[in-house]
């Protein structure tokens, strides 16, 4: 899920009168397989769903049946089945989600009257009704329920679980719900948890929904029938295999998706579409389609191009996009804060449309790139978001920076407007100016963060910085190759942080535990600063010296100044993360000299001594801005004033100037 830059949150838009809905032209089936080129299963297909759902567009309610076919692929028997009932997060103020979010996310607030819920009306296994046996895991929260089993499911056994359920969509403010006639239907059906752990010791992962946690599920095949009023257009995960008229002025759309771990859809009477094919890896094309309302056409075309470019670049950098469709939903302006900026397999929602966002401001494109990127980092590499959110959000942010640079230029990937330029990383870095101030490490479970701000800054921004810092240390080409190897090794699996670290160390040919542990599992980042500087005029030794025949006193006259200066610089790093860093010395004649500190935790300080024709004028740590896990506030000193106060002032001025130059460019 995307955390849009703060200056995009104040979007403004005029209302639009679309008139009454009218019957739309029937959509045609896509005519392509769910997987590009068809072929065999890419995943174990542990959890497979057949759902038949009907939307009441007036009440924004769902009535559905579901058959879940689940296989116990573990080595131990299963005596209970846990299910996510995500829509109960919106049921009342006592849910964990409402308590942890305080009813507000990304500027959108929950309605105090339009609540949401899901009710399991029937649950049967082998014809036996079991709904009454469902037990809430953590009352009063109702987003997870467990079904105890009288007869355990043996290893290798497959079972069908049949549901009837009804649901009420909330007024949208967090990923799912309605706004006017628009309906965004995400996390809407009973969904089984995931078993993880070594063979024979598997444990269920089925976390209650909090403000910071997102989703974790097994891959499978989805066949979903969606019935809506005939005035509505539907956008959904997978491919449309059939569309038909139904009784009562409704239409039914059949969707099929393979090797995905979720299914989402939207319905709106005013959607229009634009589409484009993109060739990936020399194989069958990916059909990219944007759904939007007419007044958002200009932005829809921008989102389309960003989506096409993202699929090309992510496919080249990691693994080819495996599915034949990519659906991008540009929600109505008044629904964007709640429904925009969210990812699902083969379907994402975007945001950023505003009269204030001119073509040179790449925020809308960035949201689209980020959400499409999630089809790799969590869509294909299905990490556990509640436990290790950084593996999808933060790693995706790192990858987004590469894609944005490839698509829009190294200096213009964020802004290129009215003579100002900024890359997307510089803009992201303005959000967290001092990573050492973050209160918890990256590897904190999403639900355990202090608050949403700490979660977002650590999981998104600091993870991106840590990845870029390591990339700069080993070299970009080598690091990108290692990340591609990781993607290939763990595609359609559930990789962990340990898997990522082990793969990188193996591919990079070195043990990087000196970086992974402190950067991801400790707080504080790096804390570089200039401890002291001093210069003296160079000369031979003065005082009592031995000259071979005895001792003599060498005076200033006998050991005059040579005309050069001996300068000493002491730099320190008192943070837990230590990475090699350059130190640039600038002298009074404006010449520079680079020193290198191979700081890998071998000490907290380094002393440099150099001789030069003129005095030292300034010092800068990390002059190329490669080390991104520290605040640059203490990285620069001017040595042309007296006293600590002048040094601190000079450091701040130099740092602010550097940051401004980095942000807006020449």
Give the pLDDT of residue 39.
Answer: 85
Tell me the pLDDT band of 541, cut-offs 50, 70 and 90. confident
Segment among 127-131, 174-178, 423-427 with least mean pLDDT = 423-427
Segment among 86-100, 443-457, 513-527, 531-545 with least mean pLDDT = 531-545
Domains of the chain (ranges; CATH) run: 23-308 (2.60.40.1730), 528-538+564-664 (2.60.40)
Average pLDDT of the chain, as a whole number: 91
Instruction: Count the neighbouring beta carbons within 10 Å of the beta carbon of residue 50.
Output: 16
Tell me the pLDDT band of 247, cut-offs 50, 70 and 90. confident
- Identify which of 394, 389, 392 has the alpha carbon closest to the alpha carbon of residue 380: 392
Give the pLDDT of residue 1.
Answer: 64
Tell me the pLDDT band of 661, cut-offs 50, 70 and 90. very low
Tell me the pLDDT band of 13, cut-offs 50, 70 and 90. very low
Greater pLDDT, 53 or 423: 53
What token pair was written down for 24? 């739309």
Give the pLDDT of residue 24.
Answer: 83
Q: What is the mean pLDDT of residues 396-400?
A: 97
H or E element, residue 302: helix 297-317
The C-alpha atoms of residue 255 and residue 62 are separated, in whole angstroms, by: 17
**Phi/psi of residue 242, nearest 5 degrees:** -160, 145
The C-alpha atoms of residue 347 and residue 395 are separated, in whole angstroms, by: 20
Segment among 41-45, 355-359, 506-510 with least mean pLDDT = 355-359
Give the pLDDT of residue 235.
Answer: 98
Greater pLDDT, 552 or 470: 470
The C-alpha atoms of residue 631 and residue 316 are separated, in whole angstroms, by: 33
- Identify which of 597, 647, 580, 643 has the alpha carbon closest to the alpha carbon of residue 619: 647
Query: Does pLDDT of 121 surpass 60?
Result: yes
Helix, coil or strand: residue 264: coil
Residues in the chain: 666
Torsion sign over Cα 98, 99, 101, 102: positive
The C-alpha atoms of residue 112 and residue 333 are separated, in whole angstroms, by: 21
Residues 249-258: tens digit of each pLDDT:
999 999 999 9
Helix, coil or strand: residue 463: helix
Give the pLDDT of residue 601.
Answer: 64
Tell me the pLDDT band of 7, cut-offs 50, 70 and 90. very low
**Integer angstrom CA distances of residue 263 from 83, 116, 320, 349, 498:** 15, 19, 21, 13, 28
- Identify which of 222, 190, 215 has the alpha carbon closest to the alpha carbon of residue 43: 222
Give the pLDDT of residue 280.
Answer: 95
Give the pLDDT of residue 425.
Answer: 87
Residues 145-191: tens digit of each pLDDT:
999 999 999 999 999 999 999 999 999 998 899 999 999 999 999 99
Query: Does pLDDT of 127 surpass 80?
Result: yes
Greater pLDDT, 125 or 439: 125
Give the pLDDT of residue 433.
Answer: 65
**Whole-structure pTM value:** 0.91
Residues 433-442: tens digit of each pLDDT:
677 788 999 9
- Contact criterion met (CB below 8 Å) for 578 and 514: yes
Segment among 130-139, 395-404, 511-520 with least mean pLDDT = 130-139
Q: What is the mean pLDDT of residues 213-228?
A: 97
DSSP codes of every residue in 367-423: HHHHHHHTTTTTTTB---TTT-GGGTHHHHHHHHHHHHHHHH-TTTSSEEETTEEE-
The single residue listed with the structure tokens 């998706």 is 257
The C-alpha atoms of residue 124 and residue 126 are separated, in whole angstroms, by: 6
Residue 65's DSSP bridge partners are 52, 164
Give the pLDDT of residue 19.
Answer: 80
The C-alpha atoms of residue 96 and residue 447 are separated, in whole angstroms, by: 10
**Parallel, antiparallel, or unpaired: how do β-strands 325-329 and 347-349 relate?**
parallel
Query: Does pLDDT of 664 surpass 60?
Result: no
What token pair was written down for 82? 């846990």
Give the pLDDT of residue 436.
Answer: 77
Tell me the pLDDT band of 5, cut-offs 50, 70 and 90. very low
Segment among 255-259, 280-284, 375-379, 425-429 with least mean pLDDT = 425-429
Give the pLDDT of residue 47.
Answer: 98
Give the pLDDT of residue 138.
Answer: 72
Give the pLDDT of residue 15.
Answer: 54
Helix, coil or strand: residue 494: coil
Query: Does pLDDT of 666 surpass 90?
Result: no
Residues 331-372: tens digit of each pLDDT:
999 999 999 999 999 999 999 999 999 999 999 999 999 999
The single residue listed with the structure tokens 């200033």 is 556
Percent over 70 (pLDDT), the chain:
93
Q: What is the mean pLDDT of residues 263-290?
A: 97
């Amino acid at each position: 899920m995307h955390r849009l830059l703060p200056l995009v949150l104040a979007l403004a838009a005029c209302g639009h009168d679309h008139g009454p809905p009218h019957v739309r032209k029937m959509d045609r089936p896509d005519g392509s397989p769910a997987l590009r080129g068809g072929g065999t299963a890419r995943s174990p297909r542990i959890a497979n769903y057949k759902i038949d759902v009907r939307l009441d567009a007036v009440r924004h309610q769902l009535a559905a049946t579901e058959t879940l076919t689940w296989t116990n692929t573990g080595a131990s028997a299963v005596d209970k089945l846990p299910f996510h009932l995500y829509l109960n997060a919106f049921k009342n103020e006592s849910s964990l989600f409402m308590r942890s979010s305080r009813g507000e996310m990304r500027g959108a607030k929950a309605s105090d009257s339009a609540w949401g819920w899901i009710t399991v009306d029937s649950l049967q296994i082998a014809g036996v009704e079991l709904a009454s046996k469902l037990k809430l895991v953590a009352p009063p929260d109702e987003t997870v329920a467990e079904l105890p089993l009288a007869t355990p499911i043996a290893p290798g056994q497959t079972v069908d679980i049949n549901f009837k359920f009804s649901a009420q969509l909330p007024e949208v403010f967090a990923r799912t719900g309605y706004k006017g006639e628009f309906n965004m239907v995400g996390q809407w059906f009973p969904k089984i948890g995931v078993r993880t752990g070594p063979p024979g010791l598997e444990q269920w992962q089925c976390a209650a929904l909090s403000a910071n946690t997102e989703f974790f599920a097994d891959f499978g095949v989805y066949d979903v029938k969606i019935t809506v009023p005939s005035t509505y257009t539907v956008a959904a995960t997978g491919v449309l295999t059939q569309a038909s008229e139904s009784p009562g002025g409704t239409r039914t759309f059949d969707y099929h998706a393979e090797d995905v771990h979720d299914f989402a859809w939207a319905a709106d009477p005013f959607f229009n579409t634009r589409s484009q094919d993109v060739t990936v890896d020399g194989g069958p094309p990916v059909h990219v389609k944007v759904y939007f309302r007419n007044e958002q056409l200009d932005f829809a075309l921008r989102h389309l191009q960003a989506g096409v470019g993202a699929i090309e670049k992510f496919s080249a950098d990691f693994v080819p996009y495996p599915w034949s469709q990519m659906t991008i939903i540009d929600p109505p302006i008044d629904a964007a804060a709640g429904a925009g900026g969210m990812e699902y397999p083969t379907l994402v929602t975007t945001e950023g449309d505003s009269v204030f966002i001119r073509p040179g401001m790449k925020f809308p494109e960035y949201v689209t790139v980020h959400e499409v990127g999630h089809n790799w980092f969590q869509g294909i590499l299905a990490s556990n978001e509640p436990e290790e959110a950084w593996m999808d959000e933060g790693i995706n942010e790192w990858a987004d920076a590469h894609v944005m640079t490839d698509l829009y230029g190294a200096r213009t990937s964020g802004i290129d407007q009215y003579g100002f330029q900024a890359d997307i990383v510089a803009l992201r870095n303005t959000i967290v100016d001092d990573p050492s101030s973050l209160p918890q490490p990256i590897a904190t479970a999403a639900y355990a963060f202090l608050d949403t701000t700490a979660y977002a800054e650590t999981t998104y921004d600091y993870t991106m910085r840590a990845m870029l810092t390591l990339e700069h240390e080993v070299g970009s080409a080598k690091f990108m190759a290692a990340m591609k190897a990781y993607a290939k090794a763990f595609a359609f699996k559930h990789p962990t942080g340990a898997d990522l670290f082990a793969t990188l160390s193996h591919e990079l040919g070195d043990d990087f535990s000196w970086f992974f542990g402190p950067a991801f599992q400790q707080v504080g980042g790096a804390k570089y600063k200039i401890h002291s500087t001093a210069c003296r005029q160079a000369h031979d030794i003065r005082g009592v010296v031995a000259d071979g025949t005895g001792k003599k006193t060498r005076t200033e006259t006998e050991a005059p100044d040579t005309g050069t200066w001996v300068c000493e610089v002491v730099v320190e790093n008192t943070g837990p993360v230590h990475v090699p860093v350059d130190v640039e010395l600038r002298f009074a004649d404006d010449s520079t000299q680079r020193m290198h500190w191979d700081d890998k935790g071998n000490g907290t300080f380094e002393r440099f001594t150099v001789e030069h024709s003129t005095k030292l004028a300034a010092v800068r740590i990390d002059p190329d801005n490669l080390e991104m896990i520290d605040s640059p506030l203490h990285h620069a000193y001017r040595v042309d004033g007296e006293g600590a106060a002048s040094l601190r002032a000079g450091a701040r001025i130099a740092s602010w100037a550097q940051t401004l130059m980095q942000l807006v460019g020449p």
